[in-house]
Structure 1
Amino acid sequence: MPVFSYKAFKESGAAAAGVIDADSPREARSKLRMQNLHVTQLDAVVQGMKAEAQKKRRLFLPKFAQRKSPIEIALVTRQLATLLGAGTPLNEAMKAIIEQTGNTKINAVMRDVRERIGQGSTFGDALANHPAYFGDLYVNMVRSGEASGSLDQILLRLADYMHQQNRLAGKVMAAMTYPMVMLVVGLGVVTFLLGFVVPRILDVLEKQKIAMPLPTVILVTITNILRGYWPFLLGGVIAAWIVFKLFTNTPHGRRAWDGFILRVPALGELFRKAAISRFASTLATLLESGLPVMEALSITERIMGNVVLAEVVAKVRSRVMEGSDISAPLKQSKLFPPTVCYMVAIGEESGQLDQMLRKVAQSYDEEIELTTQKVTSLIEPIMIVVMAVVVGFIVMSVLLPILDLSNM
């Protein structure tokens, strides 16, 4: 049954919004009228989700970052696991989730999933119709849980995994946020000085017809270029950004960019550790859920978020298919540290690969936190020094002719 989102007014004049399921827009409006709601807008929600998901998959974001509302999806997953663990039937558990979910889009998705289950579809197949919200990893783990009769445990494991990935993404973003804020603030200060303050001071100095020192001449030249050609400079920046996005949208460009990211001092180490942690935790979660190794490696490959590392996982899968173990191709890639390869080898020999991968993920989560602090402490003084040099040059360029004028 289709799901519609609506905006309406109550009899009291207050605004109302939500979702409702109906066979047609006409039936939806009729149901809302029975609730004494005057409809002002009615849109089919679910029908547009597949197209929206496909559009999202064409973007340049890592696949793990393409999931919508990951925190809310993790919360819904944990609530559903709790209800199922308490013996609540799936249909009733879905109904409870729908009633308490405040996010309109997720509410609409869960309504559609519940409707498909009522029509005879499995839970996993119903979720597969919403790839923007439930990826391959999620769907395959749910299918495994349905087949083994341990859906509540699988969902709880999924919720833990999603929360762990959200924390990991938060740590990486924390390392990136500070330098970006510093950069934006610094550019804003320099733009304000060069665009408004410096020109007025230089106009006064030029009227005095004194010889400008070299730093002041350089500053005047930069200021004139920025004031006279700023539309072209802005257009150049936008054009460069478009070319960059088009380049990274090609397989060769994407691989070149992802390889460059891994080689960036300090930040490259952080990104590599985050990807290794994601690899270990994802593969461990899938193996613990009972998925075959080949299928688990295939899913892990698609959520790596870095083409270079994804190629390593693809090579591992190919070698495993030929009868090799997992640790050997990981070691040959030289992108995975020897310690990780050694722990994977021990896990394979002992038959406890999922547990060893879990230990690797936990270890790297701690290392990511330390690396984040290291990157922040390294970037902070560099940004301060750069800003001090730039602002100091501007101040010196303005003060030198003023001092010369006072000495005349």
Structure 2
Amino acid sequence: MPLFDYVGTTDQGKVRKGRLNAANRQEALLQIARQGLTIRSVNEHSDSIWYKELSLGRTVKLQDKVVFLRQFATIVKAGVTVSEALEILGDQEEKNKYFKSVIQQMATDLREGQSLSRAFQNQAKVFSPMIIHMIRAGEGSGRLEESLDHLATYYDRLHRSQQKLATTMVYPFFVLLMSVGVVIFLLTTIIPMFRSMFAGLHVQLPLITRVILLLSDWIRVFWPVLIILLFVLILLISIVFRNKSSKLRLDYAIIKLPLIGTLVYKSELSRLLWMLALLLSSSVPVIDALRSVEKITSNLAIRLAIHNVSQALDFGRPLSEAFHQEKLFPPIIFHMTAIGEKTGMLDQMLNHVAHYYENDVEQMTERMKALIEPVVILFLAVIVGVIVLAIVIPMFQIYQNF
């Protein structure tokens, strides 16, 4: 369906710009007229080659969603209507043109009489099922501002935890990449300079030197093979991630890894429990909340476990028992859920467990940072040291013979 850009004015003289879907220009004019706007211009939208909204580029960063939800909650709390709040946020969004069009389309949906939750659901590619459930619950309970505020707080915490985890992993990856670059440079540029010198001396070279010289020759001759092997490895990894059963086994293996696996596992548990507690506190039914959590989880092993929990609830079992049957979830979740069910404070108990895991993840991240830095530096020093020794040892032997 074609897109149309329009400019109109309200009864108060305010200029409104937007973009909408319509079968033709006449239908676009009717949609604008229903909004109570005086039409100034309507043109079919066509992106130039310099500005093309490719589907590949239609992404919204987590940080942008945090800012949007926080500002949305603040503006609505100030007494501004929801549709006007979306118009304000759409007008001020300049960094992400796609997100701007999404917000403007939501404002258009509201003016056409759709509910806010429906407007969010129409943009399901951008907003997760959790956000849609929370908005729907907020509308039903009359606590929309509170739901928006909770969502902004949750996604802010999620963004900060992801940033910390990424920062922890980026440093060793960068050092490893630098190590590979240094080794390749030494083997392809520096080592060959000494080959002719060693060959002219007609002496028996140490084993370490012979191995390094052989490796240098192999890399310089067979570097196209290495590139092909790297390409094949990337292709195989992508195939594994596309295959559901292979990815399930891989995800299960990841969470069983020492240190890194434990960190990923606890971080995922913390995020899921926060999410579940938030949905339950907004009066979302337990089964619906679990299904929303299941859709958001990236790890297939944990997703399958949550799916099994929701299925157990379909058969009438209590949540605590369903958690207890899934061996992937630690006993603390079962015990705290059972206490929450008995006391009627399930969301608060889940909140406590989520907070416990969040603190644990933060402490593990700090410990890993302190541990990884010296390890990767030592790794780089050992690799470079071996190559340097391969050159230095035969030179010492030569000097001793003279």
Q: TM-score range by the shorter chain?
A: 0.7 to 0.9
User: Could you say which residue in structure 1 is the equivalent of 2:269?
Assistant: 276
Matching of residue 2 in structure 1 with residue 16 in structure 2:
no
Contact in 2 for aligned 1:77/1:155 (Cα 8 Å): yes
Query: What is the distance in 2 between the residues matched to 1:185 and 1:312?
Result: 39
User: Could you say which residue in structure 2 is the equivalent of 1:158?
Assistant: 151
Match 1:359 to one of 352, 362, 369: 352
Query: What is the distance in 2 between the residues matched to 1:242 and 1:206?
Result: 41
Q: Deviations over 1:239-274 (max 9, x none)?
A: 011112101211111111101111111001101101
Match 1:86 to one of 35, 60, 78: 78
User: Could you say which residue in structure 1 is the equivalent of 2:251?
Assistant: 258
Superposed, which structure 2 residues align to 1:283-362 within 5 Å?
283-362=276-355
Contact in 2 for aligned 1:347/1:356 (Cα 8 Å): yes
Contact in 2 for aligned 1:270/1:368 (Cα 8 Å): yes
Query: What is the distance in 2 between the residues matched to 1:174 and 1:44?
Result: 32
Query: Could you tell me how far 1:73 is from its partner in structure 2?
Result: 1.2
Q: Deviations over 1:203-237 (max 9, x none)?
A: 32223333221111100111111111011111101
With over 3 angstroms needed to count, the CA separation of the structure-2 counterparts of 1:358 and 1:200, relative to structure 1, is same
Query: Could you tell me how far 1:202 is from its partner in structure 2?
Result: 2.3
Query: What is the distance in 2 between the residues matched to 1:44 and 1:202?
Result: 54
Query: What is the distance in 2 between the residues matched to 1:228 and 1:99?
Result: 58
SS of 1:334's equivalent?
Answer: coil
Query: Could you tell me how far 1:4 is from its partner in structure 2?
Result: 5.7
Q: Deviations over 1:23-81 (max 9, x none)?
A: 789x9xx9599xxxxx9668685xx66x977xxxxxxxxxxxxx721111111111111
Identify which range, 371-380 or 250-259, moves more after superposition: 371-380
Query: Could you tell me how far 1:286 is from its partner in structure 2?
Result: 0.7
Superposed, which structure 2 residues align to 1:1-400 within 5 Å?
2=3, 21=19, 68-103=60-95, 104-400=97-393
Contact in 2 for aligned 1:171/1:368 (Cα 8 Å): no
Query: What is the distance in 1 between the residues matched to 2:142 and 2:135?
Result: 10
Query: What is the distance in 2 between the residues matched to 1:300 and 1:80?
Result: 23
Q: Structure 2: 5+ residue runs without aligned partners?
A: 7-16, 29-39
Contact in 2 for aligned 1:145/1:151 (Cα 8 Å): yes
With over 3 angstroms needed to count, the CA separation of the structure-2 counterparts of 1:165 and 1:3, relative to structure 1, is farther
Contact in 2 for aligned 1:68/1:132 (Cα 8 Å): no
Identity %: 27
Contact in 1 for aligned 2:4/2:42 (Cα 8 Å): no
Query: What is the distance in 2 between the residues matched to 1:132 and 1:199?
Result: 54
With over 3 angstroms needed to count, the CA separation of the structure-2 counterparts of 1:174 and 1:69, relative to structure 1, is same
Query: What is the distance in 2 between the residues matched to 1:357 and 1:114?
Result: 35
Give the counterpart letter for 1:236 in structure 2: L
Give the counterpart letter for 2:303 in structure 1: A
Q: Which has the higher contact order (CA 8 A, sep 6+)?
A: 1
User: Could you say which residue in structure 1 is the equivalent of 2:12?
Assistant: none
TM-score (normalised: structure 1)? 0.84
Q: CA RMSD in A?
A: 2.7
Query: Could you tell me how far 1:200 is from its partner in structure 2?
Result: 1.2
Contact in 2 for aligned 1:326/1:344 (Cα 8 Å): yes
Equivalenced residue count is 373
Q: Structure 1: 5+ residue runs without aligned partners?
A: 6-18, 34-38, 54-66
Contact in 2 for aligned 1:3/1:108 (Cα 8 Å): no
TM-score (normalised: structure 2)? 0.86
Contact in 1 for aligned 2:134/2:147 (Cα 8 Å): yes
Query: What is the distance in 2 between the residues matched to 1:353 and 1:281?
Result: 12
